[in-house]
Amino acid sequence: MVVVAPTATPPDEMVAIVRDATAAVGQAVRSAGMLFSTIGVSDDWSVERGLDLLNSFGHFDEVIVGRNWFNSGIMMFISDLEGPPVVPQIVVIRQRKTRSDSRVVPWTHGPIEELARAAGLAEMSNWAAQGFAIEPDGFSADP
């Protein structure tokens, strides 16, 4: 699950939604027998400020911070997936990882699939009200 943070201090409602989404989506993913991780993205020009903003949402397994709209996370999870160019966002993705025989690169990665997206606080609130619903086959281990 990817959280794209706003460039200003997030309101308490947004922090609560992100934390609740992390718990709900994480449980659904793990119940389907898959691994779950969180990626925090901040497009703040300042790496320090971006990290502070992301820390307000809790733990992330990975963070991508800085460079504004040139940020590699913004490009990967908004531009490349053709999402709306707004922050904040929560994007639920799935990417198959397969063990490789290579000693250099032990894993191969499939394409990133978008399962759900809530762009802007209003969409995030609506998604929360729907119980963070994902497409019925979204958490199937076999795409």
pLDDT digits (tens, 9 = 90+) for 46-94: 999 999 999 999 999 999 999 999 999 999 999 999 999 999 999 999 9
Residues 6+ apart with CB under 8 A from 16: none
Residue 138 lies in a domain: no
User: Cβ neighbours of residue 131 under 8 Å, at least 6 residues apart?
Assistant: 24
User: What pLDDT score does 143 carry?
Assistant: 47
Tell me whether residue 137 is in a domain.
no
In a domain, 30, yes or no: yes
Q: Is residue 141 part of a domain?
A: no
Segment among 21-25, 60-64, 101-105, 107-111 with least mean pLDDT = 101-105
- Output the pTM of the full model: 0.91
Which domain, by its residues, includes 61?
A: 2-129
Q: Residue 143 falls within a domain, yes or no?
A: no
Q: Could you tell me if residue 139 is inside a domain? A: no
Count up the domains in the chain and report the number: 1
pLDDT band at 137 (very low <50, low <70, confident <90, very high): low
- Give the residue among 59, 91, 64 at the shortest CA–CA distance from 77: 91
